Amino acid sequence: MQYRYLFFDMDNTLFDFDADEDQALAQLFKDQGVQLTPTIKTTYQTFNQNLWRQYEEGTLTREILLNTRFATFFKEQFNQEVDGPRLSQNYLDNLALGHDLMPQAEALLKALKAANIKLYVTTNGVANTQYRRLQDSGLITYFDAVFVSEELGYQKPDPRYFQSVFQQLEGISQAEALIVGDSLTSDVQGGQNVGVATAWYNPNQLANQMTDIQPTHEIEHLMDLLAI
């Protein structure tokens, strides 16, 4: 099977989200007069990942996630009352400035584009933040379309997310489509839910602990996609 349509996740697939998040959090905590220690950062990341998991599962809305996460975290950790929506916007503004790339990301996109492969972005991120990062990094030029959950009204892995994407790309063959991402529960599950092939980007060679989520392909390096 030759895949002619590739759908890329952004964070920790094309972009080094961990590096960009570090910069954004450091500035946010500095502005609040709180030292961001490694322990506090790890605690926040676990807390934040749990919220995004609830969002993926449809048990938490995007608005509640964004507007309450910092208010809840600062209250629980430091007994500090903060303006949740304001801190969230400050964080997103800081995050939008970060566009560190994962190794081989641009080289891969350039090679795929030269091979006339159609390329798309499929992300659960915040629209303004993601578009800014795509523009500032220059990666936007490689993509034929960008699909953000905030704009579609559905988030990965909800089957309606990719159903909406394919409806907008009328005429493409889902049998020739490949969804690429680092998340088993978002990207791979999302593809599985609509019967589309997936490539799990697993640079740290983590074990797949989820017997019900099985990617079609698994890659350690982004350039491994060329062989697929």
CATH of the domain at 32: 1.10.150.240
Same domain, 85 and 169: no
How many Cα atoms within 13 Å fall on the side-chain side of residue 212?
A: 4
| Tokens encoding 81 | 């009352």
Same domain, 115 and 141: yes
| Tokens encoding 38 | 């490694």
Q: For tokens 């989520």, what's the residue? A: 213
Among 96, 111, 144, residue at a domain's last position: 96
Task: Tell me the residue range of the domain where 64 lies.
Answer: 17-96
Cα radius of gyration rounded to whole Å, the chain:
18
How many structural domains is the chain composed of?
2
Residues annotated as part of the active site: 9
Among 80, 96, 112, residue at a domain's last position: 96
**Which of 206, 204, 182, 161 is CA-nearest to residue 55?**
161
Same domain, 107 and 220: yes
Write out pLDDT tens, residues 154-213. 999 999 999 999 999 988 999 999 999 999 999 999 999 999 999 999 999 999 988 999
Write out pLDDT tens, residues 29-87. 999 999 999 999 999 999 999 999 898 888 999 899 999 999 999 999 999 999 999 99
Among 66, 96, 126, residue at a domain's last position: 96
Same domain, 107 and 215: yes
Same domain, 113 and 195: yes
Write out pLDDT tens, residues 65-79. 999 999 999 999 999
